[in-house]
Amino acid sequence: MSPKAIPYGRQQITEADIKAVEATLRSDYLTQGPKVNAFEEAFAAYIGSKYAIAVANGTAALHLSALALGVGPGKRVITSPLTFVASANCVLYCGGTVEFCDIDPQTLLLDIEAVRKKLEGAPIGTYAGIIPVDFTGAAVDMEAFRALADDFGLFLLEDSCHAPGGYFTDSKGKKQNCGNGVFADAAIFSFHPVKHIAAGEGGMITTNDSRLYQKLLRLRTHGITKNPKEIKKNSEGWYYEMQELGYNYRLNEISCSLGLSQLERAKEELSKRKKIAERYIKAFTNVPDLELLDTGQEGHAYHLFVIKTKRRKSLYDYLKKNNIYPQIHYIPVHLQPFFQNLGFKKGDYPITEAYYEKCITLPLFPSLKEEEIRYVIKIVKSFFID
Ligand SMILES: *Cc1c(COP(=O)(O)O)cnc(C)c1O
């Protein structure tokens, strides 16, 4: 018997989450209240960054970060073609130019050697920054990217949407959490319900740079400041200044209280993700025509569980017929019609394109029940072995 539909990702809402949201609904503030700060502080502590700024969603986090890092007309920024479109779009929002480099076939992360080649092949000053993505929850080696960025005077913005709680081990043997701001200038996260922490919608920017932090705070609220140290004229109590063009990218109290409540069990949920991934790896090892990704990395955050197969299209249809709803991550950004109109074409990033032909994302989320895990394993195996 097929159980109820199993999506590739789903939020988990506990009684504690509901109580937290209810308390906010009964409080004095629906926005711009104490939950914003509380969520930001707890998130910064979890990730290990100095500062965190809550914003409306992950895309707004990318947009504001790109702006604050100086992206604008004439600025070129490099990102991975294997990501959600927002990682590239944020550059375009600011009037900048986005370019891609291919991925490493093993890690599926932005290939640092390809980036180095691109940078070395252009006059110094051509590029302004790099946006690496912790794709599937695998941590980018930001130490290596920092060294490269410094050689060329570039900013580093880490898209850590897949990797809260993930880490890599640096050259000194120290664990470095994704988005902790030690190597990147800033990092961003999303609280869309399919991500590790659900807040309805929501995003976070982390940084260790106090100047960048102050700028992001202003940009989040229309470029307006009331900080006496920042305003030109100091006088009346009601006085504020709009000093630059900002946005309303604030995150409300309801979402912040939900995010905060979810954050309290983030570590626990991450280890559940890891256990499910390990079950899959064990079950799918040595299945003919089924390729596992190299997910052995210790600090993997297991946002997505991807397998590869030459028979991807029929597997996709077969799973749907059996009430399992897989997803494809991602259609390469440069193959989207909008980007094709900008001049990108099929064949530009062959490693990404070859990966895309075969990839499929299986259900992975902490509230996946034992019988659902067994069902997914059984159905996937029955496709390959009949
Ligand atoms: C989800 C996601 C985003 C965008 O986040 P939203 O909150 O949906 O705006 C950006 N980059 C990556 C890699 C993502 O997975």
Q: What is the pLDDT of residues 15-25, one digit of tens each?
A: 999 999 999 99
**Alpha-carbon distances of 128 from 73, 157, 186, rounded to whole Å:** 11, 11, 14
Which residue among 83, 84, 131 is best mutated to probe the pocket of ligand 1, counting the most ligand atoms within 8 A of its Cβ? 84
Token duo for residue 138: 């695998």
190 contacts 165 by C-beta, under 8 angstroms: no
Q: From the CA of 59, how far away is ligand 1's center (Å)?
A: 6
| Residue 261 pLDDT greater than 70, yes or no | yes
Which residue among 62, 80, 136, 192 is best mutated to probe the pocket of ligand 1, counting the most ligand atoms within 8 A of its Cβ? 192
Q: Are strands 305-308 and 291-292 parallel, antiparallel or unpaired?
A: antiparallel
Q: What is the pLDDT of residue 228?
A: 81
Q: What is the pLDDT of residue 4?
A: 87
Lowest mean pLDDT among 166-180, 221-235, 371-385: 221-235
The 10s digit of each residue's pLDDT in 330-384 is 999 999 999 999 999 999 999 999 999 999 999 999 999 999 999 999 999 999 9
235 contacts 226 by C-beta, under 8 angstroms: no
Q: From the CA of 5, how far away is ligand 1's center (Å)?
A: 24
**Ligand 1 atom having least distance to the Cα of 134:** 13
Task: Of 267, 299, 265, 293, give the one whose Cα is nearest residue 280.
Answer: 293
- Give the separation between CA 125 and CA 131, rounded to whole angstroms: 17
**Ligand 1 atom having least distance to the Cα of 202:** 7
**Ligand 1 atom having least distance to the Cα of 190:** 7
CA 21 to chain centre: 24
Nearest CA to ligand 1 atom 4: 58
Half-sphere exposure of 198 (CA within 13 A, CB side): 16
Determine how many CB atoms are found less than 10 A away from the CB of residue 45. 11
Q: Are strands 127-131 and 76-79 parallel, antiparallel or unpaired?
A: parallel
For range 52-57, the mean pLDDT = 98
Q: Which residue has the tokens 């504020």?
A: 240
**Ligand 1 atom having least distance to the Cα of 201:** 7
- Give the separation between CA 330 and CA 145, rounded to whole angstroms: 23
Pocket lined around ligand 1, Cβ cut-off 6 Å: 57-59, 83-84, 86-87, 133, 159, 161-162, 190, 192, 203
Q: What is the pLDDT of residue 237?
A: 79
| pLDDT classification of 185: cutoffs 50, 70, 90 | very high
Of the two residues 240 and 96, the one the predictor is more confident about is: 96
Residue 312, amino acid: R
Q: From the CA of 21, how far away is ligand 1's center (Å)?
A: 23
Half-sphere exposure of 354 (CA within 13 A, CB side): 9
Q: What is the pLDDT of residue 294?
A: 73
- Run of H or E residues at 91: helix 86-93
Lowest mean pLDDT among 90-104, 168-182, 285-299: 285-299
| pLDDT classification of 226: cutoffs 50, 70, 90 | confident
Q: 157-188 burial string, b = 16+ CB within 10 Å, else e?
A: bbbbbbbbbbbbebeeeeebbbbbbbbbbbbb
For range 108-127, the mean pLDDT = 97
> Which percentage of the chain shows pLDDT scores above 90?
93
**Alpha-carbon distances of 269 from 188, 197, 273, 294, 342, rounded to whole Å:** 20, 9, 6, 22, 41
| Residue 1 pLDDT greater than 60, yes or no | no
